[in-house]
Structure 1
Amino acid sequence: MGARVIYLFSPARFQDDRGWFSETYNARKAASHGLDMVFVQDNQSFSRDAGTIRGLHFQAAPVAQGKLVRVLTGRILDVAVDIRRGSPTYGQYVSAELSAENGAQLYIPPGFAHAFATLEPNTQVFYKVTAFYDKASEGGVRWDDPDIGIDWGLGDLTPTLSAKDALLPTLSSFTSPFDYDGVPMTLTTLSPY
Structure 2
Amino acid sequence: MKIKEYEYKYLFEKNDFKELNDKIKRKWILCKNFIQINFYYDTDDFLLNSMNMTLRARQKENKLYIQYKKSLKKGLYTESLESEKEEMDELPAKIPLPEYGIEAWLKGSTVTERTVFDYGSRGFVIMLDCNYYLGIIDYELELEFIPGAEKQALSELDALGLHKKEPNRKGKASRFFEQYKKIYIESRDMQKKFFY
Q: Same fold (TM over 0.5)?
A: no
Higher relative contact order (CA 8 A, sep 6+): 1
Structure in which a larger fraction of residues adopt strand = 2
Structure in which a larger fraction of residues adopt helix = 2
Larger Rg: 2
TM-score, structure 1 as length reference: 0.28
TM-score, structure 2 as length reference: 0.28
